[in-house]
Amino acid sequence: MARPAQTKSSPAASQPSQKSARRRALFSFERISQPLATRRVFIARMAWSILVWFGIMLFGLAVGISGYAITEGMGFVDAYLNAAMILSGMGPVSELHSTAGKVFAGTYAIFSGLVIVIATGVVLAPIIHHVLHVFHVDTDDKN
């Protein structure tokens, strides 16, 4: 089978679009050989990280609310209160009556611990990277 002839693309087609470059700057960190990100890029990364953190927390809260509602038959407000308290590390508010509710609460507590660690890592990653990158930026000495 013959291979199709490769055509050269125009220089304009090979250049990434400005929107694509901005998106790449938001989702990936600069390498050690690249200059430090601008303040605007850093703020955009932090905003994105906080948005991802918020999404992770909402997901964790939704798991807890639905779990308490299903296993303990709690209303929305009570399920929210218990889920929020466990997700924040404070512990359950209401006494649990069913075995399923107790098993869920224990499992949800373990899940919540992991959610907190992951969400904190997402928010701290741009800050830690920025600080470490500052230490490795090559500057011109004018001696």
Which among 52, 78, 54, 51 is positioned nearest to 66, based on CA atoms? Answer: 78
Per-residue pLDDT 10s for the chain (143 aa) are 555 555 555 555 555 566 665 555 556 766 666 667 778 888 888 899 999 999 999 999 999 999 999 999 999 999 999 999 999 988 888 888 999 999 999 999 999 999 999 999 999 988 888 787 777 665 544 44
For residue 85, being part of any structural domain is answered with: yes
pLDDT at 73: 93
For residue 97, being part of any structural domain is answered with: yes
Structure tokens belonging to residue 9: 């693309």
Which among 138, 139, 133 is positioned nearest to 38, based on CA atoms? Answer: 133
Give the whole-angstrom CA distance, residue 75 versus residue 70: 10
For residue 12, being part of any structural domain is answered with: no
Burial class (CB in 10 A: 0-12, 13-18, 19+), 27: exposed
pLDDT at 63: 96
User: For the chain, how many structural domains are there in total?
Assistant: 1
Give the whole-angstrom CA distance, residue 35 versus residue 50: 24
For residue 13, being part of any structural domain is answered with: no
pLDDT at 140: 47
Among all chains, which residue has been given the structure tokens 């920025």? 130
For residue 16, being part of any structural domain is answered with: no
- What range defines the domain where residue 108 resides? 37-136
For residue 2, being part of any structural domain is answered with: no
Give the whole-angstrom CA distance, residue 101 versus residue 71: 5
For residue 27, being part of any structural domain is answered with: no
- Distance of alpha carbon 37 from the chain centroid: 20
Among all chains, which residue has been given the structure tokens 């373990």? 110
- Distance of alpha carbon 3 from the chain centroid: 43
For residue 47, being part of any structural domain is answered with: yes
